[in-house]
Structure 1
């Protein structure tokens, strides 16, 4: 019996946590095998529709092709990535793959051969409540750390190369394992809820308030 009660509590908590999840997008700067670079932006289609209509108007597009062009223009206006304090990323040839989770790819220029620091700013979805954007740099031989851009840091991060990966200049470590700037608050809420439910079940079992089977 206890397992069914705990399962019900877990499902209930998961539903509550999901309702409090932030709107999450991702932006990934990746080096290809030929040492060229691409930038990928991934977000729910509804988020792209919202920001495009807010920027260009409710009737700004009538076809999927027109919508895709506006998405490309919008991201070019809002994404800024600067290397080594000077060199700016240039976005070219944007391609949009529409879907429930929509992906946008850019061929890019301006990434120096040696990158010691990155300053990224992506307020593309700043107008969406509880939005958070995950930023990653993917390069062979480099640790793939993730960084959260949100309202608290003005959707920006200043990263410095340390060893085999980039680190945030303002990151704090929790238990030596997780960066607080990496973990969305919704996930921490969900994890905390699971712990509380398990502890409650253990307490009730110890007090013999619930049958063992």
Structure 2
């Protein structure tokens, strides 16, 4: 009897799991050395495809390389990091395609004595009921976590040390 209950419990909980959900993404902003930061965005390939298809419908991609280029162009034009009222360049990005697709920017330079950062994630906002979890990993500090959604215009302002 215990095995049957355990079986149905595992089955019930697995139905609620959302691996690589279309409407969910994670952004990790990590402090490196010398005012440099890296940023990684993870979401389902389908979510990124939907955004690229919507924003590049007049010039659709035909190869994975073209898709990656269009995705990077879309993200660099819609994801903003603002410090002291200035947009910070994300720099050169790379895309790792897969069921869970990752976009990585490793050379983001913040101004000296930055005390707060505004992050605006417009890169996946067109997806119905999309939510982004933002993780901010500072050196010698606890990881901060924020939820970005339509209710806060996919925007957060947070302090840093």
Category of TM-score, reference length = shorter chain: 0.7 to 0.9
Instruction: Check conservation: 1:22, 1:129, Cα contact below 8 A.
Output: no
SS in 1 for 2:143: coil
Residue 87 of structure 2 aligns with which residue? 88
Q: Is 2:103 the counterpart of 1:104?
A: yes
Instruction: Check conservation: 2:117, 2:158, Cα contact below 8 A.
Output: yes
Aligned residues: 160
Instruction: Check conservation: 1:87, 1:111, Cα contact below 8 A.
Output: no
Q: Which moved more, 1:149-158 or 1:128-137?
A: 128-137
Mark the runs of 5 or more structure 2 residues left unpaired by the alignment.
Answer: none
- Cα distance in structure 2, aligned partners of 1:100 and 1:22: 11
Describe the shift of the 1:104–1:18 C-alpha distance in structure 2 as closer, same or farther (beyond 3 A): closer
SS in 1 for 2:54: helix
Query: Residue 22 of structure 1: CA displacement?
Result: 6.8
SS in 2 for 1:43: strand
Query: Residue 114 of structure 1: CA displacement?
Result: 2.3
- Which one has the bigger helix percentage? 1
Residue 124 of structure 2 aligns with which residue? 125
TM-score normalised by the chain length of structure 1: 0.66
- Deviation string, structure 1 residues 137-175 (Cα, Å, up to 9, x no partner): 2221021111111112111112134xx6xxxxxxxxxxx
Query: Residue 44 of structure 1: CA displacement?
Result: 1.1
Query: Residue 108 of structure 1: CA displacement?
Result: 3.8
- Cα distance in structure 2, aligned partners of 1:4 and 1:67: 47
- Cα distance in structure 2, aligned partners of 1:33 and 1:109: 11
Instruction: Check conservation: 1:22, 1:130, Cα contact below 8 A.
Output: no
Query: Residue 125 of structure 1: CA displacement?
Result: 1.1
Residue 152 of structure 2 aligns with which residue? 153
Following superposition, which runs of at least 4 residues in structure 1 exceed 6 angstroms of deviation? Answer: none
Mark the runs of 5 or more structure 1 residues left unpaired by the alignment.
Answer: 165-213
- Cα distance in structure 1, aligned partners of 2:17 and 2:41: 25
Query: Residue 126 of structure 1: CA displacement?
Result: 1.4
SS in 2 for 1:92: coil
Describe the shift of the 1:22–1:63 C-alpha distance in structure 2 as closer, same or farther (beyond 3 A): closer
